[in-house]
């Protein structure tokens, strides 16, 4: 497809389990972002990649959260030892270029993965 694709769309896990969320950005997009959207809130920044380099991970809430983009395309957000407060929608976004030029290109969002921790 032409848009950002995220899988799975829904994920239910028991507290303490590890989960992995996948993002396929738009082909050719250099920048990739992960956001967390809690119920009734706006998206909050988690981390940012430029190609395979993770340039900003200041928003990751704890060391249980880990993101990678090894070949500069598909990205995976992994959450270890999940807790109930991790329940949220996780949004992935990509944009064509990085840096100030990238601001001329909007971030394109996927439909998200809704994670529920029981």
Contact footprint for other proteins (CB under 8 A): 4, 31, 33, 35, 40-45, 48, 55-56, 58-59, 91, 93, 98-100, 102-104, 106-112
**Smallest distance from other proteins to CB 107, Å:** 7
Return the number of the residue (18 or 52) whose C-beta is nearest other proteins.
52
- Which residues is 77 bridged to in the sheet? 21, 67
**Smallest distance from other proteins to CB 70, Å:** 20
Return the number of the residue (68 or 111) whose C-beta is nearest other proteins.
111
Of 93, 96, 105, 101, residue with least CA distance to 28: 96
Cα–Cα distance for residue pair 113/44, rounded to 1 Å: 14
**Smallest distance from other proteins to CB 18, Å:** 24
- Mapping DSSP to helix (H, G, I), strand (E, B) and coil, where does residue 49 land? strand
């Amino acid at each position: 497809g032409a848009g950002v694709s995220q899988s799975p769309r829904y994920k239910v896990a028991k507290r303490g389990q590890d989960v992995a969320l996948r993002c396929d950005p738009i082909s050719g997009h250099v920048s990739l972002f992960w956001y967390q959207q809690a119920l009734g809130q706006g998206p909050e920044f988690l981390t940012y990649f430029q190609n395979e380099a993770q340039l900003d991970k200041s928003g990751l809430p704890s060391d249980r959260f880990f993101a990678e983009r090894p070949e500069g395309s598909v990205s995976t957000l992994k959450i270890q030892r999940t807790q109930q407060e991790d329940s949220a929608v996780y949004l992935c976004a990509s944009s064509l270029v990085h840096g100030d030029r990238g601001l001329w290109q909007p971030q394109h969002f996927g439909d998200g993965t809704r994670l529920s921790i029981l």
